[in-house]
């Protein structure tokens, strides 16, 4: 295990340095080398599940395929992001995902880059409606960033799904929509209707708060309450939508933020 200090290695022929504990993906981003990802997001811990970010690491006569989102390089590693082996692996991953989720345009786009038009596998056919690729970003965001742990995986193998416990209405969901925002395939949806937000896939309905100034419903009660207590917000700001905060309560906002309402 490396301790402290930078690690010099080669990335696509360029001599680079990784900081202590820095992954190949992070270095690549820094120097402008593109590596595709699906289950990665800087706001959450890496998971290494989609296998799209694979690269090939050479040392001596040998090489191995690793996921760049987790792999931290060793000194003098020779890392290549576009070898035949890498491209073939990414191609198979995308082909498999397209067989699972044939209607996801983002997957088709990525697939085309790697030569996949239609998957060669049976699966259920192009009418299949599944959009979830089980990347787990929604789960990690809900757990690590929002701190609610409202959703998680269930079952194993191909039967794996993302769900609330018992696939029932959630007691923990606050309707913040972070899962919707972070999902790479648009598999999660919510609808604001009649003063309530329905998190469709999580079968959870939550009442919305109306802005004290303009009257628009802008966030769920539970989300507002959570943010209010985390940021120690005065009531006027908490019950105001973002646009009105910026106009009606601009000075109070500045005062609150400058005086250091702590966030975490």
Partner 1 sequence: MAVTPENCRDTVIAEVLERYPREASSMIAVLQDLQEELRYLPREVLDRVAVTLGTPRTQVYHVATFYKAFSLKPRGKHTISICRGTACHVKGVEKIADMLRALLEVEEGETTGDGLFTVQSVRCLGCCSLAPAIMIDREVYGQVTPARLGKIVKQYRKESAND
Partner 2 sequence: MIETPAQLAELRASARKILLNGRPKALVGMATCGLATGALRVHEALLAASERRDSSLLVCETGCNGACFLEPLVDVVLPGQARITYANVTPEDAEELVASALEGTVYAKRALARSNAEFFLIEDFSSPYGNADLAPEVEKVPLYSQVPFFRDQMHLAMRNCGLIDPASLDEYIAKGGYAAASKALTEMAPEEIIAAIKRSGLRGRGGGGFPTGRKWETCRKAHGEPRYVICNADEGDPGAYMDRAIIEGDPHSIIEGMIIGSYAIGARQGFVYVRQEYPLAVKRIRKALAQAEECGLLGRNIFGSGHDFTIRVNRGAGAFVCGESTALMASLEGRVGEPRAKYIHTVESGLWGKPSCLNNVETWNNVPVIIARGADWFAGIGTEGSKGTKVFSLVGKVNRVGLIEVPMGVSLRKVVEEIGGGIPDGRQFKAIQTGGPSGGCIPAQYLDTPVDFESLTALGSMMGSGGMIVMDDRTCMVDVARYFLGFLKEESCGKCVPCREGTARMLDILTDICEGRGRTGDIELLHDLAEGITDGSLCALGTSAPNPVLTTLKYFESEYRAHVEEHRCPAKVCRALIRYRIDPEKCTGCSLCAAGCPKKVIAGERKKTYTIDQSGCIKCGLCLDACRFDAVVVE
Question: Which distant-in-sequence residues (6+ apart) come within 8 Å of 111 by Cβ?
Answer: 94, 95, 98, 117
Q: Which is nearer to partner 1, 139 or 180 (CB)?
A: 139
Q: Is 164 in the site for partner 1 (CB under 8 A)?
A: yes
User: Which contacts qualify for 88-93: CB closer than 8 Å, 24 or more apart?
Assistant: 89/51, 89/54, 89/65, 90/36, 90/52, 90/54, 90/114, 91/115, 91/116, 93/50, 93/51, 93/52
Question: 149 in the Ramachandran plot: left (φ > 0), alpha (ψ -120 to 50) or beta?
Answer: left
Q: Is 143 in the site for partner 1 (CB under 8 A)?
A: yes
Strand duo 14-18 + 217-220: pairing? unpaired
3-state secondary structure at position 217? strand
Residues that bind partner 2 (CB under 8 A): 1, 47-51, 54, 65-67, 70-72, 85, 88-89, 91-93, 96-97, 99-100, 120-123, 133-134, 153, 155-160
Q: Is 47 in the site for partner 1 (CB under 8 A)?
A: no
Q: Which is nearer to partner 1, 120 or 156 (CB)?
A: 156
Stretch near partner 1 under the rule CB under 8 A, chosen from 18-26, 80-88, 149-157, 245-253: 149-157
Q: Which is nearer to partner 2, 152 or 234 (CB)?
A: 152
The H-assigned helical ranges of 32-83 are none
CB of 117 to partner 2, least distance (A): 15
Q: Is 155 in the site for partner 1 (CB under 8 A)?
A: yes
Question: Which distant-in-sequence residues (6+ apart) come within 8 Å of 127 by Cβ?
Answer: 102
- Residue in 28, 110, 139, 237 binding partner 1, rule: CB under 8 A: 139
- Do residues 177 and 142 make contact, with C-beta atoms less than 8 angstroms apart? no
Q: Is 166 in the site for partner 1 (CB under 8 A)?
A: yes
- Which one of partner 2, partner 1, none interacts with residue 93, CB within 5 to 8 A by kind? partner 2
CB of 153 to partner 2, least distance (A): 8
Dihedral angle of Cα 63, 65, 69, 71, to the nearest 10 degrees: -40
The H-assigned helical ranges of 146-210 are 178-182
Q: Is 144 in the site for partner 1 (CB under 8 A)?
A: no
Q: Is 172 in the site for partner 1 (CB under 8 A)?
A: yes
Task: Give contact residues for partner 1 (rule: CB under 8 A).
Answer: 139, 143, 149-156, 163-166, 171-172
């Amino acid at each position: 295990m490396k301790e402290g200090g930078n690690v010099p290695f080669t990335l696509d022929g360029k001599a680079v340095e990784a900081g202590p504990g820095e992954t190949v993906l992070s270095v690549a981003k820094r120097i402008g080398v593109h590596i595709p990802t699906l289950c990665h997001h800087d706001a959450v811990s890496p998971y290494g599940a989609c296998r799209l970010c694979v690269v090939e690491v050479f040392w001596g006569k040998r090489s191995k395929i690793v996921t760049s989102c987790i792999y931290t390089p060793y000194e003098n590693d020779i890392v290549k992001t576009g070898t035949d082996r890498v491209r073939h692996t990414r191609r198979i991953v995308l082909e498999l995902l397209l067989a699972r989720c044939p209607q996801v345009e983002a997957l088709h786009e990525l697939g085309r880059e790697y030569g996949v038009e239609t998957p060669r596998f049976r699966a259920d056919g192009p009418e299949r409606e599944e959009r979830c690729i089980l990347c787990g970003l929604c789960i990690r965001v809900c757990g690590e960033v929002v701190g609610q742990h409202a959703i998680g995986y269930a079952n194993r193998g191909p039967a794996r799904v993302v769900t609330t416990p018992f696939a029932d209405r959630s007691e923990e969901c606050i309707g913040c929509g972070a899962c919707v925002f972070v999902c790479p395939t648009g598999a999660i949806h919510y609808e604001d209707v009649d003063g309530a937000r329905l998190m469709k896939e999580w079968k959870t309905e939550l009442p919305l708060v109306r802005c004290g100034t303009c009257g628009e419903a802008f966030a769920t009660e539970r989300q507002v309450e959570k943010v209010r207590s985390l940021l120690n917000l005065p009531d006027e700001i908490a019950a105001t939508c973002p646009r009105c905060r910026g106009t009606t309560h601009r000075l109070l906002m500045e005062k609150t933020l400058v005086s250091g309402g702590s966030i975490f």
